[in-house]
Structure 1
């Protein structure tokens, strides 16, 4: 009986010092979230749902997207230019934002008010894969 109590004590002590390592958490995808204070552009329709997750967020104007690259889901650089590649947008910046067809805020354009989303830019004046500059009005 004495050995059993000793064995139980050892097992109990070992349990106290056992480190439980949780399973690795799945990476959160930026496509599902566009944080406040940002305008998020996506390379695919419906915020990249079911497509390559290329995205980028902005907090200020950018007169020429040709010198910007898309980011991957893990925030790494895709080395793929954003120019004329935007298919959907989310506006969380707190004011209106305009997407422009050409660099330097010219050509066809579409304006999106705060908290507006559009997962299908084909049905806007800016159209699909035609955005070359972004104008954030309150900055």
Structure 2
């Protein structure tokens, strides 16, 4: 097949302006490390890797997460409720922590020992996007 001069020029120009963009690697939240003495909850799987960066850390119990908002990557208030929105957890508080399905520590629950992480709560009793309370045993 032979291209006309005009078509050949178009193909050559298109080739010159074709930009190859490599796929961006998914990056974990800067807060995904979770400081010692805290329990960190994340709105996204795998500690928000490649997702919106909503997170929050705790040092004591909270019996009702519906009055808490996620923080943004820059520590500003996201104005988005945490209730039934947790997908991953890191426990650095020094004792066991239990996430509860309902406020006031009721319903299905999952317990995480000190220094444990779970980037996929969907495979636990608490499940994905079902956390409404956090119980920190040593406080």
Asked whether the two chains share a fold, i.e. TM above 0.5, the reply is yes
Instruction: State the aligned residue count.
Output: 111
How far apart, CA to CA, are the structure 2 residues paired with 1:138 and 1:126? Answer: 20
| Structure 1 residue aligned with 2:90 | 90
2 CA distance for matches of 1:34 and 1:52? Answer: 17
Q: Root-mean-square deviation (CA), in Å? A: 0.9
TM-score of the superposed pair, with normalisation by structure 2: 0.79
Query: Structure 1 CA distance, aligned partners of 2:105 and 2:88?
Result: 18
Residue in 1 that maps onto 2:43: 43
The list of structure 1 runs, each at least 4 consecutive aligned residues, that deviate by more than 2 angstroms after superposition, is none
Say whether the 8 Å CA contact 1:29–1:74 is kept in structure 2: no
Matched residues in 2 for 1:138 and 1:66: separation? 23
Q: How does 1:18-37 map to 2 (within 5 A)?
A: 29-31=30-32, 33-37=33-37
- Residue in structure 1 matched with residue 110 of structure 2 by the alignment: 110
Deviations 1:25-71 (A, max 9, x none): xxx8212x200000000000000000000000000000000000000
1:85–1:131 contact (8 Å) kept in structure 2: yes
- Structure 1 or 2, whichever has the larger Rg, is 1
Other-structure match for 1:101: 101
Post-superposition shift, 1:130? 0.1
The unaligned stretches of length 5 or more in structure 1 are: 1-27
Equivalent residues of 1:64, 1:133 under 8 A apart = yes
SS of residue paired to 1:111 = strand
Aligned with 1:75: secondary structure? coil
- Measure the CA separation in 2 of the matches of 1:34 and 1:92: 7
Aligned residue number for residue 57 of structure 2: 57
